[in-house]
């Protein structure tokens, strides 16, 4: 698998202001990281600007705060977008953040067709698990397909979606549910792309995937193998894709954040190493290894560096990277792979019977399955049927670790910055761009060119998302417990 080149070492990172995060990126690149991965804060994920009432207390906390092109320019200051691939973990406002990235590239003089990277853009998993949705499913899917279409014309090296099981798993699903729901989401995206009239072999090779690397070592490897196998059959036999590139499932993996313990946090380094090894043996194309302090906070620089070193040891010292699918043929692993494959097809049938993934989401089917599984898992821990070292077994006094704290000043600073931007830009140009965006949204035109124009005029994220909220409405989920 890695004979041509190693996987991309892509550490998910972002906190505080764009300047602080820019410094962390330069540090990680200096230390041998090979791709960037942007973590946005919750207001950005939800399409709110710093200063919006809903954003109070959350600016810069779980990621970097980006409210406009001005912030995005600072985030990538001194980083040549032509030469580095960037993944952006953003879904509901993915089209807006991607437009900002494209305009930063434009300003750097980097041609769009040279840009490599990924936008997460997986709105279905938001409804299912991560819950950072804004609009109802159908207009959200339109935005996603707009990016597919735009990408297939302008950014041939950019993955316009990362179909994600990670958040489904972190919300408490089993490995099988993660596999099945993610691939069924993939099928839904392909169907929507085809309905738009896109050429399958044009957009299918730009679909990428993202899985969790959890604790159960062999089951995880089997899950990655099963995913590749199922996707190849789905693309070739169900959709009739001609190009081999369309059959290939390429995936990013991240070690499982939900398995990290607040107790004896240094032990997390061991958990992460085992999970990362499973991802590599399972053939990931890029990998994030969690830092040992992440049950408590975003990682300190020291913890982030240890996490990166973990991958480097696996890549360069362990010798596991030299053979494609090294566990293929093991009776146990082949059995596990086959079982997961069969289980996934059974879930596909149940979802088809509900009318596809969107009706399944609307009736709460995947959410109920996940809630059941997560409760079962917790009960196993409570009863001692499943031992978590340091939590319900082998407890000992913890030695405290240093954790990263986000300065309260960050929020004030970002709020001032947005206010200043609004005072300095041409508000007339912004209004015109937002008006065009609203009209395009009411019709059927691709929204990407309109978003790009709004971004160039320095319209804020909140203004763009707010404009579309007026046309599309907002989504309220039926609560499932």
Partner 1 sequence: MSRPLRVLIAKPGLDGHDRGAKVIARALRDAGMEVIYTGLRQTPEMIVSAALQEDVDVIGLSILSGAHNVIVPRVMKLIAESGMEEVKVMVGGIIPDADIPALKEMGVAAIFQPGTSMDEIVKLIRGQ
Contact footprint for partner 1 (CB under 8 A): 42-43, 45-46, 48, 54-58, 61-62, 126, 130-132, 170-172, 258, 261-263, 295-297, 371, 374-375, 378, 381-382, 388, 390-392, 400, 403, 405-406, 477, 479-481
Nearer to partner 1, 71 or 132 (CB): 132
Nearest to 147 by CA among 452, 466, 481, 453: 452
Residue 463 Cβ vs partner 1, minimum distance, rounded to whole Å: 18
Secondary structure (3-state) at 388: coil
Residue 480 Cβ vs partner 1, minimum distance, rounded to whole Å: 8
Residue 366 Cβ vs partner 1, minimum distance, rounded to whole Å: 14
Secondary structure (3-state) at 400: coil
Residue 300 Cβ vs partner 1, minimum distance, rounded to whole Å: 13
Nearest to 185 by CA among 344, 371, 44: 344
Residue 406 Cβ vs partner 1, minimum distance, rounded to whole Å: 7
Structure tokens at 61: 């906390």
16 beta partners: 64
Residue 200 Cβ vs partner 1, minimum distance, rounded to whole Å: 32
Nearer to partner 1, 146 or 212 (CB): 212
Nearer to partner 1, 125 or 206 (CB): 125
62 touches 404 (CB < 8 A):
no
Nearer to partner 1, 243 or 403 (CB): 403
CA-angle at 132, arms to 12 and 304, nearest 5°: 15
Nearest to 360 by CA among 167, 137, 73, 173: 137
d(CA 217, CA 481): 29
124 touches 361 (CB < 8 A):
yes
Nearer to partner 1, 4 or 57 (CB): 57
Report the half-sphere exposure of 449 (CA within 13 A, side-chain side).
9
CA-angle at 369, arms to 127 and 167, nearest 5°: 45
Nearer to partner 1, 398 or 424 (CB): 398
Work out the burial of residue 217: count CB atoms within 10 Å of its CB; fewer than 13 is exposed, 13-18 middle, 19 or more buried.
Answer: middle
Nearer to partner 1, 205 or 390 (CB): 390
Residue 39 Cβ vs partner 1, minimum distance, rounded to whole Å: 13
């Amino acid at each position: 698998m890695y004979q041509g080149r190693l996987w991309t070492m892509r550490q998910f990172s972002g906190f505080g202001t764009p300047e602080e995060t820019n410094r962390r990126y330069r540090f990680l690149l200096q230390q041998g990281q090979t791709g960037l991965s942007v973590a946005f804060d919750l207001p950005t994920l939800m399409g709110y600007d710093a200063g919006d009432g809903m954003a109070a207390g959350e600016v810069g906390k779980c990621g970097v705060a980006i409210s406009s092109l001005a912030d995005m320019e600072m985030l990538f200051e001194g980083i040549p977008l032509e030469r580095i691939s960037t993944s952006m973990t953003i879904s509901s406002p993915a089209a807006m953040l991607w437009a900002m990235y494209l305009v930063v590239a434009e300003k750097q003089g980097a041609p769009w067709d040279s840009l490599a990277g990924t936008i997460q853009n997986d709105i279905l998993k938001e409804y299912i698990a991560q819950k950072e949705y804004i609009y109802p499913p159908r207009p959200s899917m339109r935005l996603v397909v707009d990016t597919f279409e735009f990408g297939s014309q302008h950014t041939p090296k950019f993955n316009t979606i990362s179909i994600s099981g990670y958040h489904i798993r972190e919300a408490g699903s089993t490995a099988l549910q993660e596999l099945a729901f993610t691939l069924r989401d993939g099928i839904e995206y392909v169907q929507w792309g085809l309905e738009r009239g896109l050429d399958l072999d044009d957009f299918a090779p730009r679909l990428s995937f993202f899985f969790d690397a959890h604790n159960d070592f062999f089951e995880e490897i089997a899950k990655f193998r099963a995913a590749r196998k199922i996707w190849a059959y789905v693309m070739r036999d169900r959709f009739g894709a001609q190009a081999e590139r369309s059959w290939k499932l390429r995936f990013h993996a991240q070690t499982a954040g939900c398995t990290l313990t607040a107790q004896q946090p240094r032990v997390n380094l061991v958990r992460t190493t085992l999970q990362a090894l499973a991802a590599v043996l399972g053939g990931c194309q890029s990998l994030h290894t969690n830092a040992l302090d992440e049950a408590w906070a975003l990682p300190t620089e020291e913890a982030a560096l240890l996490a990166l070193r973990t991958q480097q040891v696996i890549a360069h010292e362990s010798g596991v990277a030299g053979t494609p699918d090294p566990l293929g043929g093991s009776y146990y692993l082949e059995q596990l792979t086959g079982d997961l494959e069969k289980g996934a097809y059974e879930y596909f049938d149940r979802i088809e019977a509900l009318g596809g993934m969107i009706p399944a989401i609307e009736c709460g089917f995947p959410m109920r399955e996940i809630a059941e599984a997560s409760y079962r898992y917790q009960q196993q821990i409570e009863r001692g049927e499943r031992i978590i070292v340091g939590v319900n077994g082998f407890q000992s006094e913890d030695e405290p670790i240093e954790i990263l704290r986000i300065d309260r000043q960050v929020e004030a600073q970002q709020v001032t910055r947005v206010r200043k931007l609004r005072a300095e830009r041409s508000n007339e140009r912004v209004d015109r761009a937002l008006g065009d965006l609203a009209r395009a949204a009411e019709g059927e035109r691709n929204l990407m060119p309109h978003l790009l124009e709004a971004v160039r005029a320095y319209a804020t994220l909140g203004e763009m998302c707010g404009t579309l909220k007026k046309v599309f409405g907002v989504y309220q989920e039926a609560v499932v417990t």
